[in-house]
A and B are shown apart, each in its own frame.
Chain A
């Protein structure tokens, strides 16, 4: 359970600056909108990359008609998109936020779906079949020096700008993501990311589901990190209930997470290569990925969506052939991975398209909260497995892959090297899976005690977090998933401006986001 001190609204801005500058809280992990009935608020989870200290604070307003909170998007860049998300869900407007548009829902959506007194399924929002009109302006709530507020209109794209639309249906956006790109010749001047084409409302749905039912939705967030997402939620609930899972479960979960990571990185390799025109490499990646899916299928019963972790254990014990097959797979992949590098890594076209393209600085990576391979390629050692070990990660020896360049090639190499490290982790565990229960005895109805809980795991593409506020009921009062992809999309503008339009495909490919995870 975490305690969250509340900072009064009028002091919040100063306190936030103090946290940033004096306590060096430079990484905004999470920014969660809240509806506490009489007031609307926001919870901020912060971490210092210098001291490793974590802190959570909140602030709130009692005005439900016109809720206004000070923006922190100039302190932490990650807040830019996350405050838009909170505006979309709760209607809280952030003072001095330059772009107060909805992030996920349509412009003409009525109401704020995550407010407790709002029923988004009613007739105010029927299925609209006319196309959404794209607006080129946005509003800002500006604070005058004398303390009064005024509405200001900001232009996103001027009338004379040449704007190209990419997506939502585009094979290289890796899902239904939409970019509007303003070009000058071939050079990108400005880019505006539009999300929400696969916003499924998982967080609102969770408020009416029991905890075991919510588990089913986690796999479908980031389907290439299905095990890890589910692991995070199970771990969070187990922590809240005080349940200790057996060592056997810890080992199995760790091995599954790592297999999933290899699976995800192989898919990353395949898709990136396909986007850059190397179709043969796509077949290489998928050939070996199928072997992992076979292993998953044998034990879990599913190829892509496994539904394997449960609260207090795993769904079923590992298959008798599991250990043998995993070992065979590692031998196979170790023997064949040089082919990947032979065909693509050293290729002159590939290196020219990736080296020096889309450079992300370490400072920006932290400020945007770009965790995972993207952050580590920019020199930010942010591996949750290493810095906050969970499951069996404390027992294994592995190297945290960190590159300093921050360009597309570094992001690519981080993932290729991580495949090797994941294999090392599995090798250390696979022969020593201890005996024990694969499932602890749980109560038929799981009620999490009242309070705030959070847990994070290292997902396939970054730090995946779960944040729960419980009132002691069988469903959470508020459940928030820290998306691994949202920070990555929010930084696209920073690293693509000045690049060529063809580089957008490379950059998008190496950032490796999964769109259903961004939109949730």
Chain B
């Protein structure tokens, strides 16, 4: 049985283990091949430890994302340091900051340009739900209206530690995924 474990942090210290266990159960329903499953594990180990984020930020959360890249919080420890300026080379997009009506089609286009398998993290109150600008006429109330969000990181802006917690949750999610015949050949759902 696959377990969404990552190094150094005990399994029990994470919240929301249930949804990941649910993914594992669904995956195992049809039985996992011994050989394919083992290769999957190796690929997923590699994938989850080398997320390449897109340098995408619209506002305040982006500055905390930069702090993540600097020496003190150093995301290189987790393998996230290769921030790419082109969506075609990125694995994950951290939606840092408010998404306005004018920006929404641009963000969707960036997402569409990323190669599969790709993941979305909604960072900060604005990307999660519109945050303090929820009632504004020009703010999208949460990027999940048009993107499939994998992890939500609340906060205004979230602390770098919160970024890590969210990114580690994504690592765990990636670890329990079926790669071969699974996310590597996902049909376009849009």
What is A's interface to B at a CB cutoff of 8 Å? 104-106, 113, 120-121, 125, 127-132, 168-171, 175-176, 196-202, 204-205, 208, 216-217, 220, 223-224, 267, 270, 282-283, 286-287, 289-290, 293, 303-305, 515-516
Contact = CB atoms under 8 A, between A and B. Distances in A.
A205 B56 CA distance: 26
Contacts of B156: 305
A131 B59 contact: no
User: Which of B62, B66, B102 has the most A CB atoms < 10 Å from its CB?
Assistant: B102
Given A169-B110, A290-B67, A106 B133 contact: no
Contact of B137 (A125, A171, A216): A125
Given A125-B101, A131-B109, A515-B59, 13 more contacts: A120-B138, A121-B137, A127-B140, A175-B58, A199-B100, A200-B98, A202-B136, A216-B132, A287-B72, A290-B67, A290-B72, A304-B157, A516-B97
A290 B145 CA distance: 35
B88 to A, nearest CB: 12
A516 B60 contact: yes
A516 B101 CA distance: 14
Nearest to A196: B102
Interface in B43-93: 55-60, 62-64, 66-67, 70-72, 85, 87
Contact of A168 (B72, B101, B103, B135): B103
3 smallest A-B Cβ distances: which pairs? A286-B70, A120-B137, A201-B136
A129 B140 CA distance: 11
Interface string B143-164: 0011000000000110100000
6 contacts: A129-B105, A132-B102, A169-B106, A217-B132, A286-B72, A304-B64
- Chief secondary structure at chain A's binding surface: loop
B139 interface: yes
Given A131-B105, A131-B109, A199 B70 contact: no
B157 A200 contact: no
Contacts of B67: 286, 289-290, 293
Nearest to A167: B106
A286 B71 contact: yes
A125 B106 CA distance: 17
A401 B12 CA distance: 56
B2 interface: no
Contact of A197 (B62, B66, B106, B135): B106
Contacts of A216: 132
B103 A176 contact: yes
A176 B64 CA distance: 16
A104 B100 CA distance: 11
A304 B60 contact: yes
B6 interface: no
B102 A220 contact: no
A270 B159 CA distance: 20
Given A169-B110, A305-B60, A199 B138 contact: yes
Contacts of A176: 58, 103, 106
A200 B139 contact: yes
Contacts of B140: 127
A276 to B, nearest CB: 15
B98 A168 contact: no
A106 B105 CA distance: 11
B20 interface: no
B108 interface: yes
A198 B105 contact: no
Contact of B85 (A170, A199, A287): A170
A305 B58 CA distance: 15
A113 to B, nearest CB: 6
A516 B136 contact: no
Contacts of B27: none
A289 B67 CA distance: 9
Contact of B138 (A132, A170, A200): A200
A127 B72 contact: no
Nearest to A267: B63
Given A282-B70, A290-B67, A197 B102 contact: yes
B100 A286 contact: no
B142 to A, nearest CB: 11
A46 B28 CA distance: 71
A228 to B, nearest CB: 15
B157 to A, nearest CB: 6
Contacts of A169: 56, 87, 106, 110
Nearest to B137: A120
Contacts of A175: 57-59, 62
B104 to A, nearest CB: 6
Nearest to B139: A200
A176 B57 CA distance: 8
A283 B103 contact: no
Contacts of A283: 70-71
Interface in B154-179: 156-157, 159
Contacts of A289: 67
Nearest to B107: A169
A43 B71 CA distance: 48
Given A131-B105, A205-B135, A198 B59 contact: yes
Given A286-B67, A304-B157, A305-B60, A113 B137 contact: yes
B102 to A, nearest CB: 5
Nearest to A130: B105
Interface in B15-60: 55-60
Given A106-B101, A128-B105, A201 B58 contact: no
B133 A200 contact: yes
Contacts of A201: 133, 136-139
A224 B55 CA distance: 19
A202 B66 CA distance: 25
Nearest to A519: B100
A231 to B, nearest CB: 18
A303 B64 contact: yes
B105 to A, nearest CB: 5
Contact of B159 (A168, A290, A303, A515): A303
Contacts of B159: 303
B60 to A, nearest CB: 4
Contacts of B109: 131
A125 B102 CA distance: 11
